[in-house]
Structure 1
Amino acid sequence: MRKSNIFALGVLAVSAMAGMTSCNDDWTEEQYAHYISFKAPLDTDGNSVGVTTLYVPYTRYDENKNPRYGEEGLSSYQLPVIVSGSTNNDKNLTVHVAPSDTLPILNVERFSTREELWYKDMTSYANYPETLDIPSGKDIALLDIRFDFRNLDLSDRYVLPITVVDNNGAYGYLRNPRKNYATAMLRVLPYTTYSGQYQATNVKFYIVSGGVVDNEPGAMGTVDTYTVDENTVFFYAGTFDEQSLLRKNFKVYAQFIPYEEGGTRGTVKMWCDNPEMNFVQNKLATFTILEQDDEVQTYIMRRTVIVNDIDYMFDDYMSAPGTSITYSVQGNMAMERKLNTQMPEEDQIIF
C-alpha cells in the first residue's frame, strides 16, 4: 500500500513538471493573432463621445521658428499604427489605409436628424500616404498625416475617418476585428497660443432694454475659442456654445494684436460678420501672456492668457421667435495651460 502511494506521488510529480514545461513553451509561440490597429482611443465623455479628439498645432514650425511646410496653417500629426499580439512582429508588412465610409453611420447614431450637429468629413483638408511599411521586429509605425487648416471653419465639426484595408488577408495581414480599433475617427482641433477654453466666471451678461442695462447680470462659466489663424480666434456670443443649433449665427471673431512683434501684451479687436446681430465692441479689450515655472515641479511651465476689459453688445434675434433681446457682455477671462517641458505640447492641450 505504501509503495503504491509513493509510485502515485511520483507519477503526479512528473506530470506536473511536464505541464509546467509545456506552459513555458507556450509563451515562445503566438498566443493571439497579429492584427493591425490604430492607436486612437475614443473619447468617453464631453461633446466628442465616439470620436478621438486630437489637438494639433495650427502651424508646424522648425527649430528656427519658421513654418516647416512653407506657410502658416500647414501642420501634421503622426498616427501610431500597431501590430497586436503576444509576440513581436516577425514579418515585413506594408499596411494599406484609406478613407472610411462610416461617418454617416456615426452621425445618425449619435445625433439622429439634428444635422446641425453632424460631423463633416475632413478628408479634403488632409493628406496621407496610402501605404505604410512596418519592418520585421517592429510593432509600431507612424502614419504621417498632413493638414491644411487654412479656410477651415470650425463652427462645423470636422472628423477625419481613416481605416485599415486588408483585402481579406491578401496583403499579408488582417485588420483588427474590432471596428473602433481598425478605424480611426479623428476629430482634429488646430490650436494656437490664444485658442482653447477660458475660465469666464468674471464675465457677466446683462439684458439691455430701452438703452438701459439691467442691474442683475447672468454669470458665464467658460468660453471656448476656436482657431481662425495664428492670431485670430472665434467664439460664440453670450451663452451660445458648440451644442447650440443656432451657433453659426452668433460667431464673434477676436484678433490678438501684440504691441510689438512676438510680444506678450496687446489689444484684442472683436467683430462679427452677421449684420443681424448688431454687434458692437464698446472698447478694445487687452491681453497679457504670463509664463512662470512651477515652484515645486520645475519642469512644468504655467502659461496664462488673460483677456481684460471685454465689453460688447449683441442682439439675440433667434432664440425667441419674433423677439430680439439685446445683451451687454462685460468682464475678464483667463486660460491657463500647465505644460510639461519634457514632452510635446500637443499631447497636453485639452479644451
Structure 2
Amino acid sequence: MKKIYSLFLAMIALMCCFSCNNEWEDEQYEHLVSFKAVPNTEGVSWTYVRYKADGKVKFDLPVLVSGSTPNTLDRTVRLGLDSDTLSYLNREQFGEREGLYYRQLEDKYFSMPETITVPAGESQVTIPIEFSLAGIDEADKWVLPLQILDDPAGSYQVNPHKHYKRAMLRIAPFNDYSGIYNGNLYKMILEKDTTNSLTFDTYRSYVVDEETIFFYAATRDVDYLDRKNYKVFVRFTDEPIDLLNVKKKLEIWSDNTENNNFKMEGDQPYYTIDEEWDPVKPYLKHIYITLSFAYSIEDYSSVPGLRLKYETEGTLSMQRDLNTLIPDEDQQIQW
C-alpha cells in the first residue's frame, strides 16, 4: 500500500512538471497607452507654465505604454482635443453656474502635434506642447482637454480608465512672484469694525505679465461669479525705498475703480525677497517673498443696493522651494 501511495505522488509531481511553463515571460498586462496627468478632486491636472511675453514655452506631457513585457513595436499614437468631456466635467462640478466653468484654452495660446511615436524598446515619450500665453486673462479658468484617440490600424489600445485616456490640463502660468501667499498676518476690516477683523489662511495670486500679479480683493476668490470686478493688481519694481536696498516699491491698483472705489491706504507698499539653502537638503533652495500693502475697496454686488467697505492691512508671505537637481523649471518648483 505504501508503494502504491508513493507511486501516486510521483505521478502527480511529474504531471505538474509537464504542465509548468515560463508563464512569467508571457504578457501579464496589456500594452495600453495612457497619459500621465494625475487629476485633483475637481478632475483637472494643474499644469504650471513659465510666463514669457516675448516667446513660446514648451511643456512635455508624458505618454506611457503599460505592460509587464517590453514594448516591441513602433506605435504612432493619435492625439486630439476632448471638448465633450470638459463640458461634462463643468456640469458635474458646477451645475448651471456657467460663470464658474472651466474654459477650453483657445487655439492662439498653444500648439501641439497630432501624433506622437513611441519607438520599440521605449515605454514613455513626451508630447511637446508649445504655449504662448501673452495677454491671457487668468480670471478665466483655462483648461486644455486632451484625449488619446483610437487607432484604426490597431497598433495600440487606449487605456479605458478615464483618468488615463484623457488629460484635463488646468493651465497655470507662473512668474517669479505668483503662487499661494500666507494670509495669517493680513487683516481685513469691515466698515472700520476693528474688533471683528477677518483673516484668510491663503491668497492665491495670478499672473498678468512677467512683473505683475493680481489677487481677488475683499472676500472674493476664484469661486465667485463676480470675481472679475474685484481684482487688485500688484507690480514688482526694482526701485528701492530704503538705504539698505532691502525693501522695493510695489505699485498697486484696480481696473474697476469707478465701481468698487478702490483706494490705497497707509504707507508706501513694498516687498522683500530673501533666499537660503536648506540645512538638511543642500540641493533645496528656499525663496521667501513678503508683500506689505494696505487698501480699501467696496463690495457693491453682494447685496443689492448696499455697499460694504473693506479695509485691509498687514503682510502676505510666500515660500517657494526649488529643487535644483531638476533641470526643468516647471518641475523644479515644489508646488
TM-score of the alignment, normalized to the shorter chain, above 0.5: yes
Q: Percent of aligned pairs with the same residue?
A: 36
1:327 counterpart = 2:310: yes
Deviation (angstroms), 1:188: 1.3
Deviation (angstroms), 1:348: 5.3
2:251 to 269, 273, 277: 269
**Per the alignment, in what secondary structure is the counterpart of residue 184 of structure 1?**
strand
Residue 153 of structure 1 aligns to which amino acid in structure 2?
Answer: D
User: Is the CA contact 2:321–2:334 (under 8 Å) kept in the aligned structure 1?
Assistant: no
Partner of 2:194: 215
For the residues of structure 2 that align with 1:264 and 1:57, how far apart are their CA atoms?
A: 26
TM-score (norm 2): 0.92
For the residues of structure 2 that align with 1:304 and 1:74, how far apart are their CA atoms?
A: 28
Partner of 1:43: 40
1:226 counterpart = 2:201: no
1:95 to 77, 100, 106: 77
1:52-67 matched pairs, under 5 angstroms: 52-59=45-52
For the residues of structure 1 that align with 2:51 and 2:231, how far apart are their CA atoms?
A: 20
**Per the alignment, in what secondary structure is the counterpart of residue 6 of structure 2?**
helix
User: Is the CA contact 1:267–1:287 (under 8 Å) kept in the aligned structure 2?
Assistant: yes
Q: Any idea what the Cα deviations from partners look like across 1:43-94, whole Å, max 9, x if unmatched?
A: 13xxxx21111122113xxxxxxxxxxx536322100011111211110111
Deviation (angstroms), 1:347: 2.6
For the residues of structure 2 that align with 1:9 and 1:143, how far apart are their CA atoms?
A: 58
Distance 1:165 1:205, change over 3 A: same
Partner of 1:256: 236
Partner of 1:120: 103
For the residues of structure 1 that align with 2:164 and 2:74, how far apart are their CA atoms?
A: 21
**Per the alignment, in what secondary structure is the counterpart of residue 27 of structure 1?**
helix
**Per the alignment, in what secondary structure is the counterpart of residue 91 of structure 1?**
coil
TM-score (norm 1): 0.88
For the residues of structure 1 that align with 2:334 and 2:202, how far apart are their CA atoms?
A: 14
1:12 counterpart = 2:12: yes
Residue 98 of structure 1 aligns to which amino acid in structure 2?
Answer: G
**Per the alignment, in what secondary structure is the counterpart of residue 302 of structure 2?**
coil
For the residues of structure 1 that align with 2:334 and 2:299, how far apart are their CA atoms?
A: 30
1:157 counterpart = 2:141: yes
Aligned length in residues: 325
For the residues of structure 2 that align with 1:77 and 1:18, how far apart are their CA atoms?
A: 53
1:314 to 281, 297, 312: 297
Deviation (angstroms), 1:171: 5.2
Deviation (angstroms), 1:265: 4.7
1:27-42 matched pairs, under 5 angstroms: 27-42=24-39
**Per the alignment, in what secondary structure is the counterpart of residue 87 of structure 2?**
helix
Q: Any idea what the Cα deviations from partners look like across 1:240-291, whole Å, max 9, x if unmatched?
A: 111122211111111011228xx97521111111120111123431111111
Deviation (angstroms), 1:11: 1.8
**Per the alignment, in what secondary structure is the counterpart of residue 26 of structure 2?**
coil
For the residues of structure 1 that align with 2:86 and 2:208, how far apart are their CA atoms?
A: 25
**Per the alignment, in what secondary structure is the counterpart of residue 194 of structure 2?**
coil
Q: Which runs of 4+ in 1 moved over 4 A?
A: 348-351
For the residues of structure 1 that align with 2:246 and 2:281, how far apart are their CA atoms?
A: 24
- Listed as ranges, the gaps of 5+ residues in structure 2 are none
For the residues of structure 1 that align with 2:289 and 2:33, how far apart are their CA atoms?
A: 42
Partner of 1:191: 174
Residue 220 of structure 1 aligns to which amino acid in structure 2?
Answer: F
Deviation (angstroms), 1:239: 2.1
Partner of 1:286: 270
- Listed as ranges, the gaps of 5+ residues in structure 1 are 60-70
Partner of 1:181: 164
For the residues of structure 1 that align with 2:249 and 2:71, how far apart are their CA atoms?
A: 55
